[in-house]
A and B are shown apart, each in its own frame.
Chain A
């Protein structure tokens, strides 16, 4: 499992193991449990809840497409991810 993928999250470049989800990459790029994906309509910070495509709390912009689910998207080389942190 030595293979890694390099991508960009909130203008920060990082490498993750191949097969990682975008949700995992965001957790690596932030301070883990403080992982932030979106802000609620009231402005509160939110991270993933269900981890399996139901809750929609992990939605971020991936390669220019908004509202992609970070928990159900695998990282690909050169992917550009924007969370509510930036």
Chain B
């Protein structure tokens, strides 16, 4: 059986839900696929103590009133089956999805860089820790260090603090002058300024170390303390959890598999992003893209791109054009964000030879670095060939070793581990 939609949207975050609201309001038959069990994406993630945030609630209520909208939560796209058709699966079954127009709103994930101890339980991404907490993971009374780069550290720290954790320090790799310049420019985006002030006031007692980074996580079976390098000196900081990630990377696998052209985002350490035109159209006919998968720029930019993509997909270009000025304003914010939080090249050398690079196949950094390309490292060490399919170590290797960034080529299906019966469905229908 094929579920057919006029407009199929992959991703139920700000971009996807905004696109869905526009498309549903225009009477199209809309499908929204999302691999999380509840809609909202990362920024509007719901959980037991986290009802939908205000903008998300409004969108979800709007969508709930439309009988022409089908939400497929807990559903992951695993393969393309040719033009207009995708194979997906949820916990129970495989699904064939057909579409007239496709809007990719696949968002972004965190950039992890390997350092000694990063595989210890208790070490997570910063946004990863926020997601786990929103999902109900208890952190009351725990000491948390947030480290890495960018405003996400503050948002994650605020979530942890609200859940009862003690934020020991926020460790930002960008130097203080760059952060100050970014903060001053927030006057151009009042919504962002308000957010930033609220976060800072909520954590005014928390030390905010700039030009600093975690060089190692220590512990036996669990995290015990971290080493932080700050102004040339190393400090040991006891903690129960470390949330550590260095900015965000666009999720481009599905786009690459569909043949969409990707660009390398020079502002974000050459991370691949889906190339789109003014209408959020990708290089493939009938495939649009919106939000962080077209370049990391925050919730407001994602939402406005989602609306533009939906209007453009519906052929309503005048409506789409109305949102161009708002998009431009938040693109400028994104440019300032990337300039301020550009990664220090010193982070390339955090991993030692015996530090694991590939967490799935237990390949060390030294073993991989002995090769001259990602392909050679994969073939000889099995680096990047485990269940995450190189999504974690491939990006890290791209940054640390300067190799052509994995993820720029079309991935082989399935895009994520899938059940055999799902793949058999794909085989008999492709």
Q: Which residues of A contact B (CB under 8 A)?
A: 1, 16-21, 23-25, 27-28, 31-36, 40-42, 44-57, 59, 65, 67-68, 71-74
- A61 → chain B closest CB, angstroms: 13
- B346 → chain A closest CB, angstroms: 23
B119 touches A35 (CB 8 A): no
- Give the chain B neighbours of A44 by CB distance below 8 A: 119, 362
CA–CA, A35 to B386, complex, Å? 22
Q: State the interface size on chain B (CB cutoff 8 A).
A: 50
29 intermolecular pairs with C-beta atoms under 8 Å apart: A1-B49, A16-B48, A16-B136, A19-B48, A23-B132, A24-B132, A24-B137, A24-B138, A32-B138, A33-B121, A35-B122, A36-B121, A40-B119, A45-B222, A46-B121, A47-B124, A48-B124, A49-B359, A50-B128, A51-B127, A51-B131, A51-B135, A52-B42, A55-B391, A55-B392, A71-B132, A71-B135, A72-B74, A73-B91
- Give the chain A neighbours of B128 by CB distance below 8 A: 48-52
A40, A54, A74: residue with the most chain B Cβ atoms closer than 10 Å: A54
Other A-B contacts than A56-B386, A73-B74, 19 sampled, CB-CB below 8 A, are A16-B48, A16-B136, A20-B48, A21-B47, A21-B132, A23-B137, A24-B135, A35-B121, A40-B359, A42-B362, A44-B362, A45-B221, A46-B119, A50-B112, A52-B42, A55-B391, A65-B91, A71-B131, A72-B37
Choose among B49, B74, B125, B221 the residue that contacts A49 (Cβ–Cβ < 8 A). Answer: B125
Choose among B76, B109, B137, B241 the residue that contacts A50 (Cβ–Cβ < 8 A). Answer: B109
Give the nearest-CB partner of B144 in chain A: A33
CA–CA, A1 to B136, complex, Å? 12
- The B30-88 residues at the A interface (CB cut-off 8 A) are 35-38, 42, 46-49, 74, 76
